[in-house]
Structure 1
Amino acid sequence: MLYAFFKSIHILGLVLMAGNVTVTALWKVFADRTNKTQIMAFAQWLVTVTDFSFTLSGGFLMVVGGYGAAYVGHMSVIETPWIVLGQLMLALAGAVWLGILVPIQVRQARWAQDFAVIGEVPPEYRKDSRTWLIWGLLSTVPLLAGLYWMVAKPMSYW
């Protein structure tokens, strides 16, 4: 019963994180394509709010649920290949998020506050938007790989 609880928490965390990453990229791209500074600024604000609400909390739930399930299920988090691979994929996605995406989002949020009033989007914002989208999409690859390893639990990789 406790194992199922932790596993459910783990899956909920993945749904929150992967869902937010996917949906946020989609509506930010559409907002930026409008070229309407108020819409773009609002979308950029939502990127920040949803990232810290859903991506961060989803990652927290993934970690708590995953380690809780491993502990209750008597699984080694350093000797079970699919758990190790899942942890590496989450760490890789987290490194991209913290090292690349968050700094871009902070810069863009500052610009968005200005251009919502001024009405002119700086070229740096657009360049950062492309970089953010590319790295954001790339950061979903390890999340999906981790999802596969958590579900399939392949043992033949090592």
Structure 2
Amino acid sequence: MEYTTVKFIHLLGAVLFLGNIIVTAVWKSLADRTGNPVIIAFACRLVNITDLAFTALGAALVVIGGIGLFHAGGIAISDSPHLTIGISLFAMAAVLWLTGLLPLQLYMSKLAAKTAAAGQATMPEAYGKCVKLWTVLGIIATVLPLGTLWFMIAR
């Protein structure tokens, strides 16, 4: 593939990935602040949908574009320690998302949907505990790829 094409794929993936994780955190936090189970259930469902549509797609494009850039640019990873650090941070974010955030999001979504369907006016205490953990893990899972971005552009 041509260098410009794989660079475009890589950057498009970074924009989709980073844009979605940051925007999702904002609007999910705002939905949680309402305390309204119907709004929270809707937001949780959309977190799951947009994670598949934008975060996973963005991550895949980042990986595909990154591999393409290595090949098209003739880059040797052994000569690029900043890229090794960036790739490591990205991998840590992926592991954190797959093992922590994703299962937590699915659980919160089910809990919120069940609460809304039951017509309850408030979310259960378990949901609040999940939100705290999701926030901490989410901050870490956002800082890691921002670090990746830094190491990919700074030498």
Structure 1 vs Structure 2 CA RMSD: 1.3
Is the contact made by 1:67 and 1:77 (CA closer than 8 Å) also made in structure 2? no
CA distance in 1, matches of 2:77, 2:59: 17
Runs of 4+ more than 6 Å apart: none
Q: 1:116: how far off?
A: 1.1
The Cα offsets for residues 9-64 of structure 1, whole Å up to 9 and x where unpaired, read as: 11111111111110101111110111111101000001100111111000000000
Is the contact made by 2:20 and 2:55 (CA closer than 8 Å) also made in structure 1? yes
CA distance in 2, matches of 1:45, 1:27: 12
Is the contact made by 1:25 and 1:136 (CA closer than 8 Å) also made in structure 2? yes
TM-score of the aligned structures, taking structure 2 as reference length: 0.94
Q: Which residue of 1 aligns with 2:106?
A: 106
TM-score of the aligned structures, taking structure 1 as reference length: 0.92
Q: Which residue of 2 aligns with 1:143?
A: 145
Identity %: 39
Amino acid at match of 2:19: G
Amino acid at match of 2:94: G
Is the contact made by 2:13 and 2:57 (CA closer than 8 Å) also made in structure 1? yes
CA distance in 2, matches of 1:98, 1:50: 15
Is the contact made by 2:45 and 2:109 (CA closer than 8 Å) also made in structure 1? yes
Is the contact made by 2:93 and 2:144 (CA closer than 8 Å) also made in structure 1? yes
Q: 1:86: how far off?
A: 1.4
1:132 matches 2:134? yes
After superposition, the Cα gap between the structure-2 partners of 1:5 and 1:44, relative to the gap in structure 1 and judged at 3 Å, is same
Q: Number of paired residues?
A: 153
Is the contact made by 1:101 and 1:135 (CA closer than 8 Å) also made in structure 2? yes
Q: Which residue of 1 aligns with 2:14?
A: 14
Amino acid at match of 1:95: V
1:94 matches 2:67? no
Q: Which runs of 5+ in 1 are unaligned?
A: none
